[in-house]
Chains A and B, each alone.
Chain A
Amino acid sequence: MSRQYVIRRLLIAVPSLFGISIILFSVLALAPGDPFSEIAANPAIPPEVAASLRAKFGLDDPVYLRYLHWLAAMIHGDWGFSFASRIDVDRLIMQRLPTTIIVIGAAQLLAILVALPVGVLAGTRPYSIFDQIANTLAFVGFSLPTFFTGLLLILLFSVKLDWLPIVYSTDLSSTGWQWLWDEVKQSIMPVLVLGLFQGASLVRYVRSAVLDVVRLDYITTARSKGIGERAVISRHVVRTALIPVVTLVALQMPAVFGGAIVTEQIFRVPGIGSLLISAMLSNDTPVIMAVTFVLSCLVVLFNLIADILYGWLDPRISYR
């Protein structure tokens, strides 16, 4: 895959970032009222901090200057001060970000591990019993809102069976293998909820991609080489069907973050999703802006990763 291709995609990502930041900032600027009224009202905030916040967000300057100030601040990582948590916003976010990424990552992994084989099997045996069951389960899966599934799982595993803890705790007192086991036990439900939801829609996409590929000429060619049906499927069908699927997984990331916000709320996982919610409930504007900005950056990042993966998987693209 050519270096030019990667650089080109990077260059395209930058304006996207600008675009998103402009949209976010416009939303903030258009908002009526003073989102920083809390600052003035809150006696716990020292006046210097309040003043610097106002300066940073340039609340007294014309719009474009405010945008540039804000953008510069965002890029420098100077995200302000959270009045609810009383620490710098960037520290706060850095504390919580890893948890979110781990949960989302594990969920996506679970989704892929389940959806790939099921989807391939369903696609290679369309309209069979397996396919029909898989399809129905997939529909059920992505029609169940994550908060409902989460609640149901809590009801079943925590309340009725008491196998898993309800509350996620960041400082587990155990060590070693016990720590790992405790960690798994408390993460399993949020990961399961997110992962199965994602997996459900992924199954249908994999199946559809497989159905598209399996009828193509080069698959018949592959069969005519006498390599066996299993090799035809794994080496040829899956490999080429993977291309649209991979891009889809990366492009679905925005939605996954939404799902993560909900799961973190239900299971009280201390990630940036629940941070966003609590910030909204306590009118902690700098945190809200920063979290939204971080989430948008992550989205652009994943779009970039999707582009690069696509170029890596499909040689026709990157050699142009």
Chain B
Amino acid sequence: MIPLLLAQMTEPRVMTDADFWRAIGIASTGLVIVFTALILISLFIASLPRLLEQVARIWPEVEESASHTSHPGSQVADNAAVVAAIGYVLHTEMQKQMAAERSHANKN
């Protein structure tokens, strides 16, 4: 029963030569168009950093542009992250300094 059903389901239709070649034409052209579009996008992305370097000479990128966001919430979250990062760096630097002072005192 099941093999019969599968055989019925996968039974190919009689296709004319014109239909066959039209189908092949659509499939191959479609694939070529997709590749062309994505290759062009890829080339554009690859050239973008160099392009922006030239633009930056006339119109330098402003790093603090994030502060113009219309979402005040993200500003708060960024500030918290910045404070945490500054705190971590200060802590690390102070520990390094204390370790250096200790080793200096031990030598003396």
Say whether A associates with B.
no
